[in-house]
Amino acid sequence: MVSGWKGFYCKMSMVLFASVVRVRDGLPLSASTDYEQDKGLQETKKHLKGLSKKLSQFPDRCSLKTGQYNVNFTSSLGVGYMMVCTENYPNVLAFCFLDELQREFLVTYDSKRITGAIRPYSFIEFDTFIQKTKQRYNSPRSLSTKINLADMQTEIKLRPPYQLSPEDLSSINGFSHSTAPKYKGIAPNQMLDPVTLPGIVACVLSILCGALNLLRGVHAIESIMQNEDEDFNYVIAFFLGTAACLYQCYLFAYFAVWRNIKSFLAFSLICLSNMYLYELRNTWQILFHVTVGAFITLQIHLRQPQGKAPDYNFLGTQAELNGNDDGDALTAKSSTLGR
């Protein structure tokens, strides 16, 4: 099976660069050492770096054609595996290569170490395996028969990689140059920490309080229609309480700018609406609504965005300012080895 691809290698088809990154923030975990100075390859690596920061927005298997070079990547269990190869390198071999990196990386490192990684290239020692695997896939004679190209070829036919378009690439570049400085390291669609059981309970109780307020508000409208002496402000108070409860659930589920402040303001609105409704509710009912509001406010505060490494934005900014991604990568690797 391997010999069938010899014709491709005769045309200098080869793997040129590979890296392993964390999906949630694009933190580079390991990469192959490369001294190639070709401008086209350097530009392709910049595209790869931009893609690495947005892996969560793409399917788990993608390809991007950039002239003479292709970028292929897969992602699984919060880790992305990326590579740059020549345009005539077979897709089957490319994704076999990435699959081999994935299997070895997941066997070597557990999820806690990956999640807890702070500095770039924390797993620099994996570079040795990347280099050896790259050499094997660049030499058909050294490829073992254990590589099952037929299975991968069938899988690619059944589930072909998503082909990224120039529009996808331009949107990534546009974000990295214009929008990123505005958020200073916090993306607008930042992922939050995993949901906990207390958080789920708080969200369910908040929805319950919102439903109770909505039901009482509808009854209040019916009372006003039957008796004009009823106070319409009660209807407003019930509906404001409903809106505040549901907004708390939204803030718990999704990231927003000034999220904690908005949550506190929503809790304040819950307290004020219940104070106004003291004539229609007993003490236990008011205490229940206020307690639930305080509980979900606490859960919103505890469920923080998944942050990047403290110095990762600085390193990424320096790389873009210098316009030399390889130099910064090698510097980061050297500093890690020095420690």
Please report, as a single letter, which amino acid is at residue 177. Answer: H
Sign of CA pseudo-dihedral 55, 58, 62, 65 = negative
Tell me, what's the pLDDT at 256? 82
In the predicted model, residues of the chain with pLDDT beneath 70 are: 1-12, 35-37, 140-148, 169-190, 228-230, 306-339
Report the C-alpha gap between 52 and 46 in whole angstroms: 10
Tell me, what's the pLDDT at 35? 61
Tell me, what's the pLDDT at 185? 40
* CATH for 2-187, options being 3.40.50.2300, 2.60.40.3880, 3.30.720.200, 3.30.450.50: 3.30.450.50
Tell me, what's the pLDDT at 56? 85
Report the C-alpha gap between 118 and 97 in whole angstroms: 27
Tell me, what's the pLDDT at 173? 54
Report pLDDT digits (tens) over 175-233.
444 333 343 344 444 577 788 999 999 999 999 999 999 998 888 888 888 876 667 88
Please report, as a single letter, which amino acid is at residue 5. Answer: W
Secondary structure of residue 307 in the 3-state scheme? coil
Tell me, what's the pLDDT at 315? 38
pTM for this model (two decimals) = 0.50
Tell me, what's the pLDDT at 322? 41
Tell me, what's the pLDDT at 230? 65
Tell me, what's the pLDDT at 195? 87
- The ranges assigned to domains in the chain are 2-187, 197-302
Report the C-alpha gap between 119 and 181 in whole angstroms: 21
Listed residue (336, 319, 306, 305) closest to 50, CA to CA: 319
